[in-house]
Structure 1
Amino acid sequence: MRQVGSVLWPKLRVLQVYGANTGIGKTIFSSILCRAFRRRFKKVHYLKPVSTGPQEEADDRAQPCSDRDIQAAVYDELRSYSTGEDSVAIVETAGGVLSPAPSGNSQADLYRPLRLPVFLVGDHQLGGIGTTISAWESLHIRGYDVQSVALFSEGRYDNHSYLKEYFADRHVHAFSIPPPPERRPDASDDARAMQQYYEASESLQDVTAFTNTFIDAHDKRISNIQSMPAEAVEAIWHPFMQHSERSANTITAIDSAYGDYFQTHTTQQNPSTTSEPAVLKPAFDASASWWTQGLGHGNPDLALTAAHAAGRYGHVMFASAVHEPALRLAQTLLISMGNARLSKVFYTDNGSAGMEVAVKMGIRAAATRYGWDAQKDDIKILGLKNSYHGDTIGTMDASEPSIYNKKEPWYTGRGHWMDFPTVKMSKGEWIIEPVIADEGEVKTFESLDAVFDISSRQTDAKAYRTHLDHDLAELHQKGVKFGALILEPIILGAGGMLFADPLYQRCLVEAARAYDHNPSSNNDPLAWTGMPVVFDEIFTGLYRLGRFSAASFLDVQPDIVANAKLLTGGVLPLCTTTASQSIFEAFLSNDKTDALLHGHSYTAHPIGCSVANKSLEVMAKLQDSADWKGFKGQWQGNEQLSTSAKSKQDEGVWSMWSEAFVKAVSHRSQVDSVFAIGSVLAISLKDADGQGYASKAAWSLRDKLLAGSPGEDWVVHSRVLGNVWYAMGAMTTSRETIQALEERIYNAIE
């Protein structure tokens, strides 16, 4: 699969000329700039990939139709200019900034993956001030660097005088030049007049100043990119990194991102003998930017939504107030989750904070019902081993001792954590590995759907309940008080990408709800019993696993659920903690100190809520997309989507990663196991020294994919969890992209 990225070569300086409107002199300015650059460089190239208007009037070569074709054609043409000799290329667009490309998308969106520096030709005509500013804002919102705005000086409207001051306040250079002479009836006279005009214009001080500034900016951009890793070593304290192992060589400089790809600085030499090495290389974002990326980097719809909310609200406080984006988002979540228990949405800024609130909710509800005194009683959390719910002190205490928390002086680990059977594919077979390998039988299944067919696994369910009821009964006899059961449904993410048997998790919920210290006489079927059930869907929720809610895989309804990550499509931090009415009522009294006194300055910030609304709206439509139907059809039991399913949540279990690929990887000699579900792929590699977060077994695969092979036009940027290498697509990642990734990954696992 072909992938092009940002255009940046050391000695080829590329400038893109946009126009605020049609008929304002883009081609004239392009010609002037070409002549001005020729005063410094022997080679100056001109390229106009797309024209507007009738085809017979087009002044360029035949046009490919799709955006990807045009992007590849432009990139290849520019690369052919990059011979290692100092030169300049000017790429002229057609029409205005938002004029449609052949695909129907705007030109600003068409060329965005190339991220070329922009020379914007302003509009000198009546209404041109507004047109020029609007064009600049459209480019600015999409992440372009507009280096200069230029237009013809015109005495009647004097647009240039106003625009110079306007853009000076925004640190954008603006200048004007005299307009060209009026067209003359005689062609020869007209040609001579234009020749004289060009000769005079190319040597104007403002034109010369721009060419010098542009060349300096090009060199400075490259210098900044190349120096960032070393500067980061001096100024940045990176997360999840042992800094004794850090150096400039271990830090990737990211210049920008678009779609599924980062634009990263690389020192890899291009094997071509006719081209100089590119400064930037596209790198597939295999970790979905710490699991947040849902709709592609630089998504223009989300960017415009954020800009609108910023313009309408900025941020407004949420105490005793409400605004439409937050209200709409809360209502959407309550409806979309399909959980009749849930009734109230609480907003925080990130997943860890949202889970902190969930812990408070659950423990307070249990303490209130059972009359516990938190100052005297040791109230614990029930959960799974290898769980992870965040880095705040409260959420760390809700997980067993691990590499993440056990060295923190305030960590106490107030909980009891159950071991659990895991789902994986090994040597081409889906298996469920028992809790203790020597004390149980490894079960095999013909398909992933069979693993999730809870109704047909009655024998397993009985064994699980017997085991869980016995363990909880012993804990009850010891007087252990549980304030909540907290689970990451289906996949335990940061703990090592562990795929929990869904039937076991369902049985654990049932057992927890039967663990009643003081059986309530409340007959409300939506009220919690035993202990509140909290689902941490920060990672697994909101279509990550192919469904809106990961709880649907277990066919149980939690009392509290936290969502973040994909909530805003990877644009802004935001988290929701949604609770049942019975949880909410535990905080009701006439005493304010009984309230949930938790909040953040940016609680329910309107920009984040607006983007979340747009993100959920777009993701909901993806369920009917051709790509998703194609993904589903790759999995056994999903060749034809069920027409009798009660909802899209009942259409079976599937993944973006094909079942054939997963099977092939499972047979690789150094692969211990593998699984895929929804957008997630996790490959566990064998490690003779022991597995876990401290393992380095997956480092070589990570580094090999990032380095790529000679001649490849893109690489893979990924993270590892000890011996586990994982990858995931955005919700919008295409089948073509996933298939190309599968080939890269398979070949990299030697």
Structure 2
Amino acid sequence: MSPQLGALLHRSLRVYQVWGANTEVGKTVFSTILCKLTSGYKPDEKTAFLKPVSTGPAEEADGRHISKFIPGLDSQTLYQFDLPVSPHLAAQVSQQNTPSDEEVLCKIHGFASRLASTHPGWLFVETAGGVHSPGPSGTTQADLYRPLRLPAILIGDAKLGGISSTISAFESLKIRGYDVELVLLFEDKTYQNHSYLTPYFQQKHSIPVQTVPLPPPRLSPSNDVSNMQTYYTTALSLPSLSAIPSRLSSLHQARIARLQSMPETASKTIWYPFTQHQQLTPDKITVIESAKDSHFDTFQSGSPSKSLLRPMFDGSASWWTQGLGHGNPALSLAAAYAAGRYGHVMFAEAVHEPALALAEMLITGMGNKRLKRVFYSDNGSTGVEVGVKMALGAARARYGWAGEEKVGVIGLKGSYHGDTIGAMDCSEPGVFNEKVEWYEGKGAWLGSPGVRCEKGVWVVEGGGEFKTLGDVFDVEGREKRGEGRGYEKEIRGVLEKLVGEEGKKFGALILEPVVLGAGGMHLVDPLFQRTLVKVVRQSPELFGRKHQPNDELDWSGLPVVFDEVFTGIYRLGRFSAASFLGVDPDISVHAKLLTGGLLPLSVTLASESVFRSFLSDDKSDALLHGHSYTAHAVGCQVALESLKTMMKMEKSGEWGWAISCQQKSDDQTQHASSEQVAAIADSRVWSVWSHELVEWLSWQKGVEGVWALGTVLAIHMGSAGGVVGVGYKSTAAKGLQAALLKASEDDGSVHSRVLGNVLYLMAGQTTTEESVRRVERLVKQGLEDGT
């Protein structure tokens, strides 16, 4: 497997990528001018030229043109295809093997690294055709070269229609995160495009524009060489061009200087979340220069042959949000579209297409017959507060409680629903709220049995052993075998004591289905949560009075709120984590993966019976909750694109490699079509993390237990060597975290987060199998090295 590749940035080598607004705009002429200008910039530096992909006869290749007019220049073409057509077509009909995107990028990396170590100076990388001309694999160049994130020089189009094509090319690069640092174009006296584009870029975008006269028309080969030599001599004498090397060099140095200074400046300026600043020194701050797919590009000083930007796997999926890859062009385009169409528009008693379409898609996708209404908010914590307000309001209306009566929620020990005060009050006292003056834990929290793989066996705390995690999640089969009776008796006894003996009132049951996230990545026995919901719904007399539901979709006992902010939207392999339990909540909260990791947005879905509880002629009976940015059109549009993409991935079986690997002993999965794999995934538990890794981890010294589900891997470390034991304040997982952060030559490094003694890792929904296996090797290496 090839080593991880990140963005290119060398201290000793200034690398610029030359893009064309269209074909035949003069990229090679301008590349020649740039190479000539920089060749004499400093006597101890050299200039090189690289054409990754070229089509057409070799004798007419761009690299030959430059070598002809700059003898001795280090010039190379990586892939030359003879047919003068788009590279993807030329590659198809050639006798060569079509190079993958990764192979192209790897060769560019290798060429630049060699120059950086042996020939400090300049490198100009010229693209083929226009910004969106396809590469050999068919990926458009704007996306193909994005992982390199090279600063761009855009060659404008001086021909008729060139104003539009130049601006369109610029916007395509901008949307993908390229920094366009210079625009060059010819002066055509007929069309005068430069007279419009110069103020457009300089005044609107602060990007300098430099122009040169049109080159002479092509005549005979002998005259062409002579005429072009004269042309280049004349062009290089233009005062406006002489400043280009100095400007580009200054930008390069400023970029590095800024990256170097950021940790120190940040440590004096930023107040970080979940961070004890007493222990935070600048060297511990990770500088993320950019991000692509499942990786950050982080700034690290290194040897001259190494890029200053190193790839680092985003092991927390950027706090559980990243799903479709950083810098996803489809999501960026969706955001740009909605920003251009709407910006932000107020939402009270109004509607716009992204919000309505997203609401319809969510209601359909959830597969929950109860959920009919969608309420928008800004983030998961506030989404939970909305859900609790809904539940408490519905319970108050049904049971006729006075406003001054104290009403709490029923939840689970170790659960945590967010950092706003209202959501915080829905969790038991703990490290997140113990020093918050306004915290008042309003509820009762039940203990719940955990599930972990220990020494190759799946163990349910206090509930026996299972061969596979799938057996644990066979909740209906286990229920039929009577395995839930003990849970039912225990739960009913606790509730009767709380209500009957202690006189407490409750207005909601709130659960994180399947996994308690921030509380320590606690995988809960799904049969326990299923039983808890059933007991609450079957015991309305415990909470107020016996009530005959209007229909099967009416809530009973207490409104059931599922906090799926972390576990929902395919994080665990399914659209909704509720499906693992086989029960439908009355209220469901979603955020994080909702927008694929691009924008903050939250939704709280509710049943019609909960909604009806707020209907009245009195305005004060309404759900008086809202945000200025409620149903932000940009967020809704991005969420639509995100959900469409993930639902399509599920339907087409794009996670088949993970499902097949997890169930490789099952012939049904091994030989299934993509549609069959999708159907199997809907009824099975599976993970992108290999069964072999989970098995291996479960036997390791210092590992108390491990589990993997969907894209999540959680390693529960034990106490050893004087480290603090379990819990959020534990340091037991710090050693493994440090080992993952240490870069490997071939596999890169991993940025991870720990929850006390638990180190967890997450992939995105588009993370490749190869990337996952790289991380698995680093995990094994970290533990084998004694961390």
TM-score bin (small chain): over 0.9
**Quick one: which of 691, 702, 707 aligns to 1:659?**
691
- Gap runs ≥5 in structure 1: 435-441
1:125 is aligned to 159
Cα displacement (A) at 1:179: 1.4
TM-score by structure 1 length?
A: 0.96
CA change 1:55–1:535 in 2 (3 A) is: farther
Cα displacement (A) at 1:40: 1.3
SS across alignment from 2:125: strand
The count of corresponding residues between Structure 1 and Structure 2 is 735
**Quick one: which of 450, 471, 495 aligns to 1:422?**
450
CA change 1:54–1:548 in 2 (3 A) is: farther
**Quick one: which of 504, 508, 517 aligns to 2:528?**
504
Single out whichever of 48-57 and 628-637 deviates more from structure 2.
48-57
Contact kept, 8 Å, 2:652 with 2:678, in 1: the verdict is: no
Contact kept, 8 Å, 2:4 with 2:746, in 1: the verdict is: no
Cα displacement (A) at 1:638: 5.2
**Alignment of 1:459 onto 2:482:** yes
Letter in 1 for 2:474: D
**Alignment of 1:672 onto 2:699:** no
1:437 is aligned to none
**Alignment of 1:183 onto 2:218:** yes
Q: Residues 474-513 of structure 1 correspond to what in structure 2 (within 5 A)?
A: 474-477=497-500, 478-513=502-537
**C-alpha separation between the residues in 2 aligned to 1:181 and 1:731?**
53
2:363 is aligned to 334
**C-alpha separation between the residues in 1 aligned to 2:59 and 2:49?**
20
1:621 is aligned to 648
Letter in 1 for 2:655: W
**C-alpha separation between the residues in 2 aligned to 1:624 and 1:605?**
28
**C-alpha separation between the residues in 2 aligned to 1:633 and 1:737?**
17
SS across alignment from 1:486: strand
2:618 is aligned to 591
SS across alignment from 1:90: strand
Q: Residues 4-153 of structure 1 correspond to what in structure 2 (within 5 A)?
A: 4-41=5-42, 42-53=45-56, 58=61, 60-62=77-79, 64-83=98-117, 86-153=120-187
Cα displacement (A) at 1:17: 0.3
SS across alignment from 1:676: strand
**C-alpha separation between the residues in 2 aligned to 1:297 and 1:639?**
35
**C-alpha separation between the residues in 1 aligned to 2:514 and 2:653?**
26
Letter in 2 for 1:400: E
Cα displacement (A) at 1:514: 2.5
Letter in 2 for 1:398: C
Letter in 2 for 1:390: G
SS across alignment from 2:434: coil
SS across alignment from 2:605: strand
SS across alignment from 1:640: helix
Cα displacement (A) at 1:209: 1.5
Letter in 2 for 1:101: G
1:209 is aligned to 243
Letter in 2 for 1:44: T
Cα displacement (A) at 1:189: 2.7
**Quick one: which of 253, 260, 282 aligns to 1:226?**
260
**Alignment of 1:522 onto 2:549:** yes
Single out whichever of 469-478 and 223-232 deviates more from structure 2.
469-478
SS across alignment from 1:157: coil
1:438 is aligned to none
Letter in 1 for 2:414: N
1:289 is aligned to 318
Cα displacement (A) at 1:86: 3.1
Contact kept, 8 Å, 1:11 with 1:84, in 2: the verdict is: no
Cα displacement (A) at 1:56: 8.3
Letter in 2 for 1:262: F
2:88 is aligned to none
**C-alpha separation between the residues in 2 aligned to 1:386 and 1:552?**
22
**C-alpha separation between the residues in 1 aligned to 2:487 and 2:60?**
75
Letter in 1 for 2:709: I
Cα displacement (A) at 1:188: 2.6
Cα deviation code 1:531-556 (max 9, x no counterpart): 11000000000011110000000000
**C-alpha separation between the residues in 2 aligned to 1:717 and 1:303?**
24
1:344 is aligned to 373
**C-alpha separation between the residues in 1 aligned to 2:56 and 2:366?**
49
Q: Percent identity?
A: 51
Letter in 1 for 2:398: R
1:635 is aligned to 662
**C-alpha separation between the residues in 2 aligned to 1:265 and 1:403?**
33
**Quick one: which of 567, 584, 605 aligns to 1:578?**
605
Contact kept, 8 Å, 2:740 with 2:779, in 1: the verdict is: yes
Contact kept, 8 Å, 1:632 with 1:638, in 2: the verdict is: no
2:67 is aligned to none
Contact kept, 8 Å, 2:294 with 2:326, in 1: the verdict is: yes
Cα deviation code 1:626-685 (max 9, x no counterpart): 651111112247552389999566431100001111001111111111100000000011
Q: Residues 422-461 of structure 1 correspond to what in structure 2 (within 5 A)?
A: 422-434=450-462, 443-457=464-478, 458-461=481-484
**Quick one: which of 465, 468, 484 aligns to 2:491?**
468
Contact kept, 8 Å, 1:638 with 1:654, in 2: the verdict is: no
Contact kept, 8 Å, 1:627 with 1:735, in 2: the verdict is: no
Letter in 1 for 2:260: Q
SS across alignment from 1:749: helix
**C-alpha separation between the residues in 1 aligned to 2:662 and 2:101?**
31
CA change 1:61–1:635 in 2 (3 A) is: closer
SS across alignment from 2:278: helix
**C-alpha separation between the residues in 1 aligned to 2:482 and 2:777?**
40
1:248 is aligned to 282
SS across alignment from 1:690: coil
**C-alpha separation between the residues in 2 aligned to 1:499 and 1:61?**
50
CA change 1:522–1:512 in 2 (3 A) is: closer
Cα deviation code 1:210-243 (max 9, x no counterpart): 2111100001101111111110011100000001
**C-alpha separation between the residues in 2 aligned to 1:645 and 1:48?**
42
CA change 1:571–1:594 in 2 (3 A) is: same
2:69 is aligned to none
Letter in 2 for 1:571: L
CA change 1:513–1:56 in 2 (3 A) is: farther
**Quick one: which of 543, 547, 568 aligns to 2:570?**
543
**C-alpha separation between the residues in 1 aligned to 2:718 and 2:217?**
76
**C-alpha separation between the residues in 1 aligned to 2:532 and 2:207?**
61
CA change 1:101–1:644 in 2 (3 A) is: closer
**C-alpha separation between the residues in 1 aligned to 2:354 and 2:654?**
30
Letter in 2 for 1:412: E
CA change 1:588–1:412 in 2 (3 A) is: same
**Alignment of 1:276 onto 2:305:** yes
Cα deviation code 1:547-577 (max 9, x no counterpart): 0000000000000000000000011100000
SS across alignment from 2:217: coil
**C-alpha separation between the residues in 2 aligned to 1:374 and 1:399?**
22
**C-alpha separation between the residues in 1 aligned to 2:133 and 2:692?**
43
CA change 1:61–1:471 in 2 (3 A) is: closer
Single out whichever of 564-573 and 689-698 deviates more from structure 2.
689-698
- Gap runs ≥5 in structure 2: 63-76, 81-97
Letter in 1 for 2:343: G
Single out whichever of 690-699 and 7-16 deviates more from structure 2.
690-699
Contact kept, 8 Å, 1:52 with 1:95, in 2: the verdict is: no
SS across alignment from 1:105: coil
SS across alignment from 1:256: strand
**C-alpha separation between the residues in 1 aligned to 2:557 and 2:240?**
76
**C-alpha separation between the residues in 2 aligned to 1:662 and 1:36?**
57
